[in-house]
């Protein structure tokens, strides 16, 4: 079996990437997290925009896309206010968003973190309180819990930070 390749997504990847997100939504529901992404997050338009801006990456093996994540460099407005804690560093950071897998590659989050640290030694990520699987992956990757942030719809998220 070939090694896993991480590369920037291209427009031709949109349909397979959306299939990965559908698979991830099913897994989230099966593991007690039915509301974070519901039935239609992330929307196709958001992922298409991330591809056009060069923010979306895919994990592929033998030509098939099995996972995706967004790495957004620069300030994230949802992280400007944090409750119940504080950020360790105000240095420039990257944020991981929409990390998803179809279940065929193990260690997707760890791989995304290692890859992202090559671009930015300071990362932030957040997840829903019901997403126990992602919380465990975040902590295994060395992130520290920092507090609560609120996303666009004003729902709370657990916020984490890794300063390498």
The string of pLDDT tens digits covering residues 113-148 is 999 999 889 999 999 999 999 999 999 999 999 999
Q: What count of residues does the chain have? A: 164
Sorted by where each begins, the domain ranges of the chain are 5-163
The model's pLDDT over 44-55, given as tens digits with 9 standing for 90+, comes to 999 999 999 999
Could you give the 3-state DSSP secondary structure of residue 113? helix
E-assigned strand segments in the chain: 5-8, 56-61, 64-73, 94-101, 122-127, 144-150, 156-163
pTM of full prediction above 0.85: yes
Phi and psi at residue 61, in whole multiples of 5°?
Answer: -140, 130
pLDDT in tens, the chain (164 residues): 579 999 999 999 999 999 999 999 999 999 999 999 989 999 999 999 999 999 999 999 999 999 999 999 999 999 999 999 999 999 999 999 999 999 999 999 999 999 999 988 999 999 999 999 999 999 999 999 999 999 999 999 999 999 99
The highest-level CATH class for domain 5-163 is alpha beta
């Amino acid at each position: 079996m070939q090694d896993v390749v991480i590369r920037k997504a291209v427009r031709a990847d949109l349909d397979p990437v959306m299939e990965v997100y559908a698979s991830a939504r099913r897994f989230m529901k099966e593991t007690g997290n039915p509301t974070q992404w519901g039935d239609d997050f992330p929307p196709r338009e958001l992922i298409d925009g991330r591809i056009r801006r060069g923010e979306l990456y895919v994990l592929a093996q033998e030509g098939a896309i099995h996972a995706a994540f967004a790495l957004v460099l620069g300030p994230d407005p949802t992280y400007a206010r944090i409750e119940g804690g504080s950020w360790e560093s105000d240095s420039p950071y990257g944020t991981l968003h929409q990390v998803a897998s179809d279940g065929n590659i193990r260690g997707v989050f760890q791989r995304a973190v290692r890859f992202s640290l090559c671009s930015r030694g300071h990362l932030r990520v957040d997840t829903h309180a019901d997403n126990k699987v992602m919380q465990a992956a975040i902590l295994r990757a060395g992130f520290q819990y920092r507090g609560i942030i609120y996303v666009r719809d004003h729902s709370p998220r657990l916020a984490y930070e890794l300063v390498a």
